[in-house]
Chain A
Amino acid sequence: MRERYSKNGVVFLGVPADEEEAPVRQAIARLGIPWDHLFDGRGFEGPLWSDFNVDGTPSIYVFDREGRIEAKRTSAPKLAEILEKLTAK
């Protein structure tokens, strides 16, 4: 899915809940996750969690080209439809 939408200019960024970096890097290598990750080491207390009202994983936020909230705390099965609509705009 990500390959398909990256061509349409969609950027994927991971937001790990971890407070330690090493397990995150290991998981990325093990799972072969191809995108970059925003990591501040503050876990659920970090602003990407507290200011976005996300308190559990997995969860997904989508922003449009102007950086506006397109979808909040959504799930992977719904992502294709959201991106389809967004990239058709």
Chain B
Amino acid sequence: MGPLLLALLVLQPAPQPSAREQYGQLMKQAREEVDRYAKSGAPPGAEADPRLQWAARLWELRKQHPQDPIAGHATRESLRLLLDAGRADEALARIDSLAPSDAAWGAGILTQLREASVQKGDPAVFSSRAAKLLAAAPDAEFRARVHFAIGRFHVTREEREQAEAAFEAAIAAGASTEFGKRAKAEIHELRSLNLGQPAPAFAVRSLAGKQVGNADLRGHATVFVYWASW
């Protein structure tokens, strides 16, 4: 190997880590530092809280790689760190900077918005933004997603009728979309799976060859253990 070629090889710059690798490294460091900080007993949200610094780093990553699917995760985790630090206003300012077309909405930002609303103790924090998102929704899938999030918001507030109405709206917006389907399950949950309600009707054969149905649940407490062989 000639000296020129050798020099070229040695001078080759190290490959840039991908956005996903950078995200993994940031998250690992963030977790370690936040753990250490939490164990030290220091209060969340103080100036020295490492959550603030890592929230900023993750937001930077999002800005550097707006087209990468990892940007959504970085966005969500940045917001989560801010909310864990009790900085709801800062989290909301960042949420408000996201366009309805931002891919990050698909990564659970509406859940962070709900959490911010809870922290602020003001349901309007959530509902005003949800209404704006609905008005600007780029497509049916997004509308279904927002209606679904509104439904979940009402579920956590134990506002059953409003929750059902929002889930119905999600189904109307897109019954075959992911959130249309999940809305159907949520309505079923609200109507038929409350504690104290009779188990939904079922009739299944058992591996021992018995026909088992609701009548067999009577007379003794029963435990269903959901599992898989794999």
Out of B189, B199, B205, B207, which one reaches A67, CB within 8 Å?
Answer: B199
* B211 to A: closest C-beta gap in Å: 10
Q: Is the CB of B228 within 8 A of A39?
A: no
Cβ–Cβ contact B207 & A39, under 8 A: yes
CA distance A21 to B229 in the complex (A): 10
A18 and B197 alpha carbons, distance in the complex (Å):
28
Q: Give chain B residues whose Cβ lies under 8 Å from the Cβ of A27.
A: 229
B165 to chain A, nearest CB (A): 20
Q: Are A51 and B222 in contact (CB under 8 A)?
A: no
Q: How many residues of A contact B (CB 8 A)?
A: 53
Stretch at the interface among B9-17, B70-78, B212-220: B212-220
Q: Which residues of A contact B204 (CB under 8 A)?
A: 38-40, 46-48
Per-residue 0/1 for A39-63: is the Cβ within 8 Å of any B Cβ (1 yes, 0 no)?
1100000111101111001111111
Instruction: Please report which residues of chain B, range 190-212, place their CB below 8 angstroms from some CB of chain A when the two chains form the complex.
Output: 192-202, 204-208, 210, 212
On A, residues with C-beta under 8 Å from B are 5, 8-18, 21, 23-28, 35-40, 46-49, 51-54, 57-72, 79, 83, 86-87
**Top-5 shortest CB links A-B:** A67-B217, A27-B229, A17-B228, A59-B226, A61-B224
Q: Please give the residue numbers on chain B whose beta carbons come within 8 Å of chain A beta carbons, in ascending order.
A: 185, 188-189, 192-202, 204-208, 210, 212, 214, 217-230
